[in-house]
Amino acid sequence: MAKTEMVEVATKDELVEDGRKIVAIDGLQIGLFLLEGEVFALENRCVHQGGPICQGKIVGQVLEEIDEKGRSVRMSFSDKDINIACPWHGYEYNIRTGIHPGDSSIRLRTFKTKVEGEKIFVELPVKARSVAV
């Protein structure tokens, strides 16, 4: 298992709730997202064809209410499950998990995050870190 380290990438005042900031570090582009006060980090590379996923629209998961006869009654947007939609072809991923809501085998690369005071850290492989410095 590759060694990792927590690397400071931003400060909390650079993020806004339900917004994003994209940082470049060690040859990676990483999107930072603030949801309900918690920071999530996704690689800015869609697994479909490499599109800049973190620059896409932030939307609530579409929910469909089905009645007892299997008919669609109404559709709405979740305010709990928040997705990012790829600007190239529309693949969506849950920002908290990086997982496509319709197929859990399709997932973005995610990074652990840590907030210490105002500083935001992302866990990166030590090897990648040393190559770029």
Contacts with ligand FES, residue ranges (CB under 6 A): 46, 48-51, 53, 86, 88-91
Q: How far is the CB of 112 from ligand FES (least distance, A)?
A: 23
> How far from 91 is each of 43, 47, 86, 123, CA to CA, in Å?
14, 9, 5, 25
Q: What residues contact residue 133 under an 8 Å CB cut-off, 6+ apart?
A: 26
**Nearest by Cα to 96 from 88, 114, 84, 86:** 84
Q: How far is the CB of 50 from ligand FES (least distance, A)?
A: 6
Q: How far is the CB of 53 from ligand FES (least distance, A)?
A: 6
Decide whether 84 or 120 has the Cβ nearer to ligand FES: 84
Tokens, residue 114: 């840590």
Decide whether 106 or 115 has the Cβ nearer to ligand FES: 106
Residues 55 and 46: their CA atoms lie apart, in Å, by 10
Decide whether 10 or 53 has the Cβ nearer to ligand FES: 53
Decide whether 21 or 100 has the Cβ nearer to ligand FES: 100
